[in-house]
Amino acid sequence: MIYLDHGATSFPKAPGVSAAVALYIDETSGNPGRGGHQLTIAASRAIESARATVADLLGSDPERTLLGPGATFWLNTILCGRLGPGDRVVTSALEHNSVMRPLRWLEAQRGVEVVVVEGAAPTGVPTPAEILDAVNQSPTALVVLTHASNVSGAVIPVEEVARRVAPIPVVVDGAQTGGALPFAFSRSGLAAFVCSGHKGLQGPSGTGVVVLAEGFDLQPLVRGGTGSNSESEDMPVMLPDLLEAGTPNGPGIAGLGAACTWLADRTVEAVQNHERALIKRCITGTLAIPGLHLTGWVEGMEQTGVLSFTIDREDAGELAAWLDRERGIALRAGLHCAPAAHRRLGTFPTGTLRVGVGPQTTEDDIDALVTALVDRCG
């Protein structure tokens, strides 16, 4: 099978991930932080070691690097924890539903004002000046932006936005960029950076990370046991316990640690260069196909390893099913959980066909896709 759905999740996982997951299950499966026996201590060590590896890769302080079930969970924790009645939040039209749905819920249920900045066509990427302009129109509690569109791969210059709108906190959904774009949280000026563990970081499903700047504090979305301060019916105030209630996904976190070790060794810069070259090859090949239109794309834009397109008179869903059935090529058709982005990019409600490459994708994989598209549509 040729797997080109890295925008959804990475496959195959980084070498060493499944061994680390199995090792945790078979030899380390105590409940971390709960009790003092050998397995508990081994589990705590495995988790803290993974945390340190993830923090190292993201250039963050391990004490403010929290591990949980995914980017969605951390985005909800931040948005629902920070925004209340009368607050104003500025965002982009390229957001995934893991930002848009909590924002629309907060708007309807808590009276939060949601301001969506529509970036110019064809990319829909808002400029830092446009975000600053929106922020300056009325007191704003928070800016939340995707680091890169999960539909088109277009990158928003979030660090420049943070510099321009300071001291207003900027929260970034890095689900599409963590592990795929070189990044150091400590130098970013962001209040929080959220990413999936199972996409660019190459780890198992059910893992995600949030990194918090000093002074940007959160209330937990879920409360429960932490193994610490068990005499109290209130949550402990120290991190990570405050934000990591319940038994953690130890196998997933151990796998994530192994994935980040592999990535650090290969380097995020090398992965970025590899994915850039593959996307360039894909663009060159697909642009030659009559009736094929790249979505939200312009020559020279900064982009991740994701690319979307439509083809005249071809239904994206049917084409994806044909590619899977006839050529063994896995990619995703539809709205990719980002209806706002498709509205902005002119592909709502039918959506696009999305290609997502990863560190283990090859030039042959891209050539097989282009050949299949030429055979079917050329």
Ligand X SMILES: Cc1ncc(COP(=O)(O)O)c(C=O)c1O
For ligand X, the binding residues (CB under 6 A) are: 70-72, 96, 98, 146, 150, 173, 175-176, 196, 208, 337
Nearest distance in Å: CB 134, ligand X = 20
Nearest distance in Å: CB 195, ligand X = 8
Exposed, middle or buried, 38 (CB in 10 Å: 0-12/13-18/19+)? exposed
13 versus 96: smaller Cβ distance to ligand X: 96
Q: Which residues contact 10 (CB under 8 A, 6 or more apart)?
A: 198, 199, 200, 201, 202, 203, 358
**Is 14:202 a contact under the CB 8 Å cutoff?**
yes
Nearest distance in Å: CB 80, ligand X = 15
Nearest distance in Å: CB 150, ligand X = 3
Angle formed by the axes of helices 17-27 and 38-58, to 10°? 160
157 versus 236: smaller Cβ distance to ligand X: 157
146 versus 310: smaller Cβ distance to ligand X: 146
**Is 263:202 a contact under the CB 8 Å cutoff?**
yes
345 versus 372: smaller Cβ distance to ligand X: 345
33 versus 208: smaller Cβ distance to ligand X: 208
Nearest distance in Å: CB 226, ligand X = 22
Residue 53 and residue 260: Cα distance in Å, rounded? 6
156 versus 319: smaller Cβ distance to ligand X: 156
Residue 196 and residue 332: Cα distance in Å, rounded? 18
Nearest distance in Å: CB 139, ligand X = 27
Nearest distance in Å: CB 237, ligand X = 26
Exposed, middle or buried, 18 (CB in 10 Å: 0-12/13-18/19+)? middle
- φ/ψ of 319, rounded to 5, equals -65, -40
70 versus 240: smaller Cβ distance to ligand X: 70
Nearest distance in Å: CB 60, ligand X = 17
Residue 107 and residue 87: Cα distance in Å, rounded? 9
DSSP of 43-111: HHHHHHHHHHHHHHHHT--GGGEEEES-HHHHHHHHHHHH--TT-EEEEETT--HHHHHHHHHHHHHH-
176 versus 188: smaller Cβ distance to ligand X: 176
Closest CA to 166 of 188, 195, 150: 188
Residue 171 and residue 224: Cα distance in Å, rounded? 26
> Structure tokens of 246?
């319940």
Residue 213 and residue 134: Cα distance in Å, rounded? 23
Nearest distance in Å: CB 283, ligand X = 20
42 versus 337: smaller Cβ distance to ligand X: 337
